[in-house]
Structures are given as structure tokens and as C-alpha cells.
Amino acid sequence: MKIIGCDCMWDIKDKKCLRCGACVAVCPKAALDLTEHGVTNDKDLCIECGICEKMCPVGAIKVKKE
């Protein structure tokens, strides 16, 4: 499991994130988790669909499009 701020398509700005778990609630692959260290993304499960990006109330998540 990779912790926040990796160099792949899915990225989260940890300073913006309010740790509300809204992204976790909509992740269709249950790849996201809200831990005491912030939101983590299991890259083996993530399909980079961008639903979490749409959901985030503060725009902390970006899924880069190729």
C-alpha cells in the first residue's frame, strides 16, 4: 500500500485534505482508506477512474489524464 503523495496518476494534496472520508465513501474499488495519517490509496486496487476527484469537497485529489 502506498501512502499519500506518490508520483503516479492519482495524487492528493495532503495540506488541502480535511480527512473527511468523502472520497473513501465513493471509491468503487475500496482502494482508498482514511487512516490517522490521512487518506491512503492502494495502488493495486485503484483504477484511476477519477470518481474521488469529483467527490472531494475541497479539490484535494487529482487524477492525471494521459
Partner 1 sequence: MMKENYDVIVIGAGPGGSSTAGNLARKGFNVALFEKRQEIGSPKRCGEGLSVGSMKMIEDNFGSKIPQRCIAQTIDGSIVYAPNGKEVIVDFGEDAGAVMERKVFDKWLAMEAAKLGAYVQAKTYIKNLIIENGYVKGVKGEFEGDEFTAKAKVVVACDGVESKIARIAGLNTTNQLVNIDSGYQYEMANLKMRDKHKIELFFGHDIAERGYVWVFPKGDHIANVGVGVAMTDKTARYFLDKFIKEYPYTNVKDASIIEVNSGGIPVGGFLENMVSHGLVVVGDAAHQVNPIHGGGMKEATIAGKIAADVIEKGIKQDNVSQEVLSEYNKLWWAERGQALLRVQKLREVTEKLSDSDYNDLAEHLTGEDCIELARGNKMGTLAKLLMKNPKLLTLAKHLV
- Check residue 59 for interaction with partner 1 (CB under 8 A): yes
Indicate whether 26 belongs to the interface with partner 1 (CB under 8 A).
Answer: yes
Q: List the one residue from 27, 41, 46, 63 that touches partner 1 (CB under 8 A).
A: 27
User: Is the CB of residue 45 less than 8 Å from the CB of residue 30?
Assistant: yes
Asked if 21 is part of the footprint of partner 1 (rule: CB under 8 A), the reply reads yes
Could you list the residues that contact partner 1 (CB under 8 A)?
Answer: 18, 20-28, 30, 33-36, 51, 54-59
